[in-house]
Each structure stands twice: as structure tokens, then as C-alpha cells.
């Protein structure tokens, strides 16, 4: 389980970094970056909720 948590955290952090790089531009890319941020946050919350029961 520790490996899954570490892998998930690494994946989320990687996507977050890529998302931040895309947010420097205005327009559709910024909106897409914000949507990705929301999705990443939701995914992180779901992972946290799933691992709380163990």
C-alpha cells in the first residue's frame, strides 16, 4: 500500500507541475489548466478517502 500511495503522490505531483507550466498562457490553455487542477484535486481527495479505510 505504501508503494501505491507513493506512486499516486508522484503521479499527481508530476501532473500538477505540467499543469502549472501550461497556466502561464492566457485563454484556452489557462482554462484547461484550471480544469486539470480541479481534476487532480478531486483525484487526490478520492485517493485519500480510499486509503483512510485501510
**pLDDT, tens only, 1-54:** 677 777 888 888 887 777 766 655 567 877 888 899 999 999 888 888 888 755
Q: Which residue has the cell 487532480?
A: 40
Q: Give the residue from 47, 38, 52, 50 showing the smallest Cα distance to 9.
A: 47
Position 38 scores a pLDDT of 92
- Which pLDDT score, from 0 to 100, does residue 34 have? 87
Assigned C-alpha cell, 36: 486539470
Question: Contact at 8 Å (CB) between 22 and 29?
Answer: yes
Q: How much is the pLDDT for 37?
A: 92
* pTM of the predicted protein model: 0.46
pLDDT at 25: 53
Spatial neighbors of 29 by CB under 8 A, at least 6 apart, are 22, 23
User: What is the rounded distance in angstroms from the CA atom of residue 18 to the CA atom of residue 8?
Assistant: 16
Determine the pLDDT at residue 24: 58
Amino acid at each position: 500500500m505504501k508503494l501505491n500511495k507513493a506512486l499516486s503522490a508522484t503521479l499527481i505531483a508530476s501532473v500538477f507541475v505540467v499543469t502549472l507550466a501550461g497556466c502561464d498562457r492566457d485563454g484556452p490553455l489557462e482554462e484547461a489548466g484550471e480544469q486539470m487542477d480541479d481534476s487532480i484535486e478531486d483525484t487526490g481527495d478520492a485517493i485519500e478517502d480510499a486509503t483512510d479505510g485501510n
